[in-house]
Structure 1
Amino acid sequence: MRVVKRTLPEILQKQTVAKSRLFAIESLDLRFSNGVERTYERMKPSGRNAVMMVPITENRELLLVREYAAGTERYELGFPKGLIDKGETPEQAAVRELKEEIGFGANKLTPMKEVVLAPSHFSSKMTLFIAEELYSEQLEGDEPEPLDIVRWPLEQAEELLTHLDFSEARSCTALLLTLRALKS
């Protein structure tokens, strides 16, 4: 495979073009190395990253959560996740989010990959972990209603990929990376 070294485009101007309580959209006027100019829009970087964990119990079950997703206007099945708070490491955030969302901490976290949801529009990264050696501990979370915890046999994990409620790309990626890691 031939790798072409590219020169980053010059940013001519950045401006916030829309803002809500949660999001800001930023317009970028760019000039590429060949002289072509374009305007791109993206979510303004927040500087906050996130974590997602694939918890595996000692009985070889995956622990998932079912929670309401405003984007799809339905309940979705996925792995526990959340933002990294200021001053936290991804590992600390992972354990805290597990305690808040499923009532378990983890003595063993295996980082798998840092992913970006849609690099053309977002800059925030999410670190994916396998969480093992779980122990019972509950912290109060910020969800508006209690989350449903779903136990799924690890031997049937691939079936999740065709489950109608399991559609979040980051959860699918985390599951596939987990299955690959467990095979090695």
Structure 2
Amino acid sequence: MTHQKPEILRTSIVAESRLFKIESVALRFSNGVERTYERMKGGGYGAVMMVPIDADDNLILIREYAVGTENYELGFPKGAIDKDETALTAANRELMEEVGVGAKKLTLLKEVNLAPSYFSARMQIYLAQDLYPESCEGDEPEPLEIIKWPLARANELLDNDEITESRAICALLLALKQLDK
């Protein structure tokens, strides 16, 4: 069955903060039904997340505070793509800022959405290999804790209560698929 995209009748910003805009979107579907939805208006240039693997076959994770859950969370390095920056450049910059390494090899695993019914933001997930020491100043409010986790025990991360972000779990599974583990 082929779907025809609904017609956008009108859009308007209904709320705005420093980081987010909430947009109202009035739609007419091909069967004539009209509905109004709200979504977080996309801004910026996208984001990246990297699954770094060092020469000793360790996954490199970070533990950082997440205000949304009011907890320290275990995950992979990630960040926004800056204006006039490619996703690959952003991926390496974020690795340098958050982990203190660069990657000679970055393999795109997948571009993902987070709750596509409500957000238009996209994130590119990369496998980062052939790491080398390199750091640059980041924007984190406190030093991030770097955790090395043996790749051979990667499946145990799925049961770890500290790793709850769906994009990080998705990144881990995509990396394991790419590595055929």
Bin for the TM-score computed over the shorter chain: over 0.9
Aligned to 2:163: 166
- Structure 1 moving runs of 4+ over 3 Å: none
Aligned to 2:34: 37
% identity of equivalent residues:
60
Mapped to 1, the partners of 2:28 and 2:142 lie a distance apart of: 47
The SS at the match of 1:35 is coil
The amino acid of 1:12's aligned partner reads L
Aligned to 1:61: 58
RMSD: 0.9
The answer on 1:134 being equivalent to 2:152 is: no
Report deviation, 1:117: 0.7
Report deviation, 1:28: 0.4
Report deviation, 1:47: 4.1
The answer on 1:176 being equivalent to 2:173 is: yes
TM-score, reference length from structure 2: 0.98
Report deviation, 1:54: 0.3
Mapped to 1, the partners of 2:120 and 2:18 lie a distance apart of: 19
The amino acid of 2:96's aligned partner reads K
Unaligned runs of 5+ in 1: none
Aligned to 2:148: 151
Report deviation, 1:48: 1.9
How many residues align? The count is 181
TM-score, reference length from structure 1: 0.96
Q: 1:102-157: CA deviations, max 9, x gaps? A: 00000011111000011101111111100001000110000111100001000000
- The one of 70, 75, 80 aligned to 1:78: 75
